[in-house]
Amino acid sequence: MGWRGKWDEGLRKAQINFYYDGINPIILLWTGECRDLGSVGNYDIEFTTPAIYETDYYEKRGDEDFGIFPKPLKNLLTIDNWGSMNVPQIRSSNDFRLSEFNLGNIQNIDKFALQGLTIKFDYNAAAPCSVAGKIITGNDKTGLRTVSLKEGGGTAEIGGVFDLFGLKYDDYKEFGRIQIDLNIMNPYQNDVYVDISNIRVEVNYIILDGTDWKRFWINGESNEYYQCFLKNMVIYGGPNNEVEIFNVEGNDIHVAYRQNIVPKEIELEFDIDACNFNDGSLLLQRAARWFANNRTKYNRPIPNTIEFEQFPDRVFDYVMEDSIEEEITEGGTYECKVKLLVPSGTMRTKEPVITNSTGVNSGVAKVLPKLQILATSKEISLTETVSRQNFSIRPFIGPDNVGIEEGDIVILNSETRKATKLHKIGENNYNSVDITRFIDFDSEWFVFNPGNEFNISGNGSCIVQTVEFFERW
């Protein structure tokens, strides 16, 4: 509870309303601090003698129902006593937050990888209902899991030894700041009376002890987190080319007339190691999901990125075509092999290269840049002076009844072949309009050849602000 007053001279009335249980004491503590002051100094704050006025107890405060939560809350962490509540039909309780639970000392370990969280509790339920467990991490990410309770009593679990509540490993780095909320949900057409006690949290983690790992990352997550020990890999350097040869019969002449970069594969061999066979099997399942890429609703693959420590600042975009081959040893270790398909046939820079109107493509393959330009006229005309590529957008009347105006930002994306106009409508606000259909039919989307410099001129119609692309190696 708190009250915020305005900093000025004179006394002001501060009032806080609260509900209390006559059995349990309440200790009130009041302090004063001036967070709005622009400078540090000594200021006198005066409090008059506080007064407490008791009013009638109401189950409702206007249209807002009084809170639904277990009573008394302190019994939730005990073994022999219960926190009890009645949850009306089609209603949920208020969230109640756990505190002072055992984290297994993990918060004091420098390097660890959380594997899973399990929230366990004992219960008695007069009718079926559900319980939601919410994890709030130190970086304010939220994970949610639910469990259904049957009529009667027993022990329930939310999460599991390898369940991170849908969050990433790195979200749990500040583990000492983790918060856990519970909520009782009653989706049925009858009230339910619930008793809860002995709430505890079980933590499953591994200590990252500085073992001599061969490290790699998929979408930013390290193989250490999955107990995935890389033994061997085959990565073919440079592009994988397909060359077409023209043969002149009878003259012993062979002419290479076309060359294209084609997809290639990365081959990995690794072990999944755990304390026992069951844990190893669960880790293998998680590793398989870690390697697998997602798809759009139209089943177009969404590539993952994989990065190896021997290639800093470089990544491969891959899709998983074949399943993981695995063999289990007598000790319970899974020996695995996997092939990853790289559709581009090259790796690329992890971060985009961003230049002004001039620069160089230092890679080994062509790149398709994205340009951001500032319009200085109603017509856009661009020329890449090295390769003589030209691009233009003639004056037009767009869907907002306005064409390109001086001061508009225009984005030209050669990879997606889209042009977008950002029209300024406020101090820092822009209205985005697709103007692709207004590009001249004879325009050339810019392509930068490997090892070549580029110089893009706005021909007096615009100013090139940035040129952005990923170099390929």
Q: Which residue has the higher pLDDT, 365 or 114?
A: 365
- At the topology level of CATH, where does 353-469 sit? Jelly Rolls (2.60.120)
Domain residue ranges in the chain:
66-207, 216-348, 353-469
The pLDDT-based confidence of 4 (bands split at 50, 70, 90) is low
The pLDDT-based confidence of 337 (bands split at 50, 70, 90) is very high
- 16-60: pLDDT as tens digits: 777 776 667 777 776 665 555 445 556 667 777 777 766 665 444
Q: What is the mean pLDDT of the chain?
A: 85
Torsions phi, psi for 292 (to 5 deg): -70, 140
Domain 216-348: CATH class, spelled out: mainly beta
Q: Are 291 and 320 in contact (CB under 8 A)?
A: yes
Whole-number pLDDT of residue 107: 66
Q: Which residue has the higher pLDDT, 329 or 211?
A: 329
Q: Which residue has the higher pLDDT, 381 or 10?
A: 381
Whole-number pLDDT of residue 458: 92
Q: Which long-range contacts (CB under 8 A, 24 or more apart) does 317-324 make?
A: 317/342, 317/343, 317/344, 317/348, 318/266, 318/293, 318/342, 318/343, 319/293, 319/343, 320/291, 320/292, 320/293, 323/288, 324/284, 324/287, 324/288, 324/291
- Domains 216-348 and 353-469 belong to one CATH topology: no
What's the rounded mean pLDDT across residues 449-469? 93
- At the topology level of CATH, where does 66-207 sit? Jelly Rolls (2.60.120)
- 73-127: pLDDT as tens digits: 888 888 989 999 999 999 999 888 887 666 666 767 777 888 889 999 999 999 9
Whole-number pLDDT of residue 399: 62
